[in-house]
Amino acid sequence: MKISPFLLLCAAATLAIPVFTHDGYVIQLLNIAILNAIVVLGLNYATGWTGQINFAQAAFYGLGAYTTAIATKAGIPWIAAPFLSVLIVVIASLILALPTLRLRTHYLAMTTIGFGEIVRLIIVHWEPVTGGTSGLRAIPGISFFGFGPQGQIQHYYLLLAALAVAVIVAVRIRHSTLGRAMIATKDSEIGAEQSGVDIVRIKLFAFMIGAVYAGLAGCLYASSIRFVSPDSFSGTQAILLMMMLIVGGMGSIPGCIVGAVALTLLPEILRFLGQWYLVLYGLGVICIIVLAPGGLASAASVARVRWVGQR
């Protein structure tokens, strides 16, 4: 990804948003959008690049959030929380991935849905620890080396920084041997194997890197929103994350961010539609899959070629 003027403009606009609005609700919504963007970037490794369907991403998100919530409420210093979240998520992704790496399409879809459902049921029914359906409240905030962000706007910048790191890592991986091996696995597993790619290992890496993204986003979610409940990490959320990836454009880093932000903000903007929003959302996703399988990212590049000419 070259640093284009357009990209700089987007970055500047993003940084300037809190200058124009101090509405806590709007900033809170944007914070959730940024967290979702990190999770979707993680999902992109397995689904967008390696071509493996994954409905367990919401469960990894939830595991990360609950680990941080439980640990910091128990008095463990915040600085340890991200490490704990990553540890738990890596263990969980190994448990899920090792037996399922050989599975394909609908089998993989079902197994990851099942995994998510099992995690949700454990969260809901392990009440003494997880607070059951009512969730956990008053989770201690972020604090490291005497620094702790106060208020929504400081959290906004902190989360933006986290997103920037997530994007940079993704860009670096995409252009490394690992990234190319992921794309090769998606394009043709047999072809990739013939070229010396260990596809089982690549799939495992893709799942695990994605899970680590979700785990870290979960950690930040718990300590910046300071409330977790099972609803935020349910199967519905897993499908929503997948839809964000599709709408934005599978395999495209800007696409992941645009998809996550759009599908986080749209339900609030279109609140007046009530139940009809979800009907239109379903139909909209079908239209995008049928008409623009590359999502908004591909639609944008088609438009650019048409009107501006190829650069």
Partner 1 sequence: MGQLVVNGLALGSIYALVALGLLMIFNTVQIVNFAQGQLLMLGAFIGISGAVTHELPIALSWIITMAAMALVGIVFMVLVYLPLRGRPPFLVILTTIAMGIVLENLALIIWGPLPVSLPSPVHGTPLRFAGVIISMHQVFTFATLAVILLLQFVLLTRTRFGILMQATAQDLHTARLVGIPVRRTIAVAFAFGAMLSGIAGLLVAPIFLAEPTMGGSLGLKGFVVSVIGGFGNLPGAVIGGLFLGLIETFGARYISSNFRDAYAFIVMIGVLVAWPRGIFGEKISEKV
**Shorter beta-carbon distance to partner 1: residue 96 or 216:** 96
Shortest gap between Cβ of 237 and partner 1 (angstroms)?
13
**Shorter beta-carbon distance to partner 1: residue 61 or 115:** 115
Shortest gap between Cβ of 8 and partner 1 (angstroms)?
34
Shortest gap between Cβ of 250 and partner 1 (angstroms)?
9
**Shorter beta-carbon distance to partner 1: residue 110 or 169:** 110
In the chain, % helix, strand, coil (3-state, to 5) comes to 80, 0, 20
Shortest gap between Cβ of 68 and partner 1 (angstroms)?
24
Four-residue CA torsion sign, 226, 140, 124, 217:
positive
Q: Where are the alpha helices (DSSP H) in the chain?
A: 5-20, 24-43, 57-73, 81-100, 105-125, 127-130, 151-174, 177-187, 189-194, 199-225, 235-248, 253-269, 276-291, 295-307
DSSP bridge pairs for 228: 136
**Shorter beta-carbon distance to partner 1: residue 142 or 243:** 243
Query: What distance in Å separates the CA atoms of residue 253 and residue 171, rounded to the nearest whole number?
Result: 8
Look up residue 226 and give its two tokens. Answer: 């300071």
Q: Which residues bind partner 1 (CB under 8 A)?
A: 51, 53, 99-100, 102-107, 109-111, 113-115, 117-118, 121, 124-125, 190, 235, 239, 242-243, 246, 275-276, 278-279, 281-283, 285-286, 289-290, 293
Look up residue 73 and give its two tokens. Answer: 């409420």
CA 121, 221, 140, 235: dihedral to nearest 10 degrees? Answer: -10
**Shorter beta-carbon distance to partner 1: residue 108 or 209:** 108
Shortest gap between Cβ of 295 and partner 1 (angstroms)?
11
